[in-house]
Homo-oligomer: A and B are copies of this chain.
Amino acid sequence: MTTTSSDLAQLLPAGRVIGDPARLASFAHDEAAGASYALPTAVVQPRDTADVAAVVAYCAERGVPVVARGAGTGLSGGANATDGCVVVSFAAMNRIVHIDPDERLAVVQPGVVNDDLRAACAAKGLWYPPDPASAPWSTIGGNVATNAGGLCCVKYGVTRDYVLGLEAVTGRGEVVRLGRRTAKSSAGFELAGLLVGSEGTLGLVTEVTLRLRGERAQEHTVVGYFDDLPSAGRAVAQVVACGVVPSALELVDRYCLQAVDAWKNMGLTDSGNVLLLARCDAPGAAGAEEAGTVLACFEAAGATWAARSGDPTESEALFAARRLVYPALDRLGMVLSEDICVPRSLVPDMLARLERTARRHGVRIAGLAHAGDGNLHPMLVVPRGDERELAKGREVFEEVVDQAIALGGTVTGEHGVGLLKRRGLAKEFGPAVMDLHRGIKDVWDPAGILNPGKIFTA
């Protein structure tokens, strides 16, 4: 046991501090491929806000780095441990404090798993929309830290759009309540929204007040297969232009379909090369009308096969296949996952650039995209342990990031900056805006202990 871990064991109840190096390893990093990490000096598992405040105050006094961690499903290294740090794992703070149907809000601890919250809301006829692919495992705290998106955010917005208020512990160890419980407010600076997406660099979120929606109408699914990426890209651009806002519009290319088929034998590749999946959930007859419009867009763009799916089971199976892409690729090697977002009418352009880039570098880039909001997740699979291929893959993706910036896009649509996007972020924003970031961090965390080196270098 290090001094830090035995000190922390004095501060917290029994069993809340892990100092055993063998156990520490499983808290050392998230799922980002090729992001650096170190072994933490201790892991703490707080029960409540007071535990968190005590740990942060201890660390602030001694200059010990503090890294917050949800389920560790992040893809940018945001939760990676740094040398000598204390990892605060929120897994045990997983209570749904309160769901209020009249106010349409939920109050939750940060360790609540996204799907668990969604199930609890559904039981009361309510809906928490943000649905990252990691929803079965990832926590609300992690979703807040990265401003997580998902499939339905093309119509319903991202995590930040649902955060009304937060309780957080600042880098001084102070507990603050930010935001509100009311439907709207113009009271002072929007500090709750500032903490969303700040990846644990400004404060540790200890409670979240979330806006909910009522149950949505039944979804209509439209499926289209296309010969190639340009025609699928055209279909996306036509849907965007036709005025319908689908509740999901996903693109899956042949490489991804093959990986899923190889694992689950779903026969996806028999039907075509590029799959587009759309959902429409306007209430009543309007939903079916929207689905008809989307179908017409798919056909006009040259779909080889397209249809509305009246069968919820079949439709769910196709969306499940889309969710299997990442684990299916993960079976083949280490997955480098990109997360660029471009203006949505430029999706065809960005897809073409990806194809050219892959060809130039002699690599194969798997294409998966929340196409309706311009958020592309190109993926590269490299042999595990092959440092040269990993480095090459990262280089290819740095190029891709620059292409996204050149198209007026952003370096991360929903995964966050963490360690992997720091160069891109600095390029996207420029030095004056990065200085504002550093200044704001100093205000919240004057000792510089909260997730140092994430988002930007100190």
Contact = CB atoms under 8 A, between A and B. Distances in A.
Contact of A197 (B190, B285, B408, B429): B190
Interface string A435-454: 01101101110000000000
A180 interface: yes
Contacts of A103: 343-345
Interface residues of A, number: 87
Contacts of A197: 186, 188-190
A139 interface: no
A188 B374 contact: no
Contacts of A410: 180, 182, 185, 187
Contacts of A443: 436, 439-440, 442-443
Nearest to A237: B102
Contact of A184 (B286, B408, B413): B413
A188 B286 contact: no
Given A196-B190, A282-B283, A344-B103, A184 B149 contact: yes
A131 B439 CA distance: 35
A179 B191 CA distance: 16
A2 B106 CA distance: 56
A428 interface: yes
A181 B413 CA distance: 12
A193 B190 contact: yes
Contact of A186 (B147, B182, B191, B444): B147
A336 interface: no
Nearest to A438: B443
Contacts of A198: 189
Given A243-B125, A433-B176, A433-B177, A417 B186 contact: yes
Interface in A133-156: 146-149, 153-154
A175 B429 CA distance: 12
A194 B189 contact: yes
A189 B241 contact: no
A120 interface: no
Nearest to A197: B186
A342 interface: yes
Given A102-B345, A176-B433, A185 B412 contact: yes
A240 interface: yes
A13 interface: no
A186 B243 contact: no
B188 A241 contact: no
A409 interface: yes
A29 interface: no
A253 interface: no
Nearest to A105: B343
Given A182-B409, A284-B285, A413-B182, A188 B437 contact: yes
A147 B241 CA distance: 29
Nearest to A202: B189
Interface string A92-105: 00000000011100
A191 B433 contact: yes
A64 to B, nearest CB: 22
Given A285-B284, A443-B439, A432 B174 contact: yes
A286 B36 CA distance: 53
A157 to B, nearest CB: 8
Interface in A401-417: 408-417
A411 B341 contact: no
A268 interface: no
B375 A188 contact: no
17 contacts: A103-B344, A146-B186, A154-B183, A176-B432, A182-B341, A183-B341, A183-B375, A184-B375, A185-B410, A186-B412, A187-B410, A187-B411, A188-B429, A188-B433, A189-B440, A191-B437, A283-B286
**CB-based closest 8 A-B pairs:** A439-B443, A183-B373, A283-B286, A284-B286, A185-B410, A102-B345, A147-B186, A182-B341
Given A154-B183, A184-B375, A284-B284, 14 more contacts: A103-B345, A148-B186, A158-B184, A174-B432, A176-B432, A176-B436, A182-B344, A182-B410, A184-B341, A185-B341, A186-B415, A187-B417, A191-B437, A193-B194
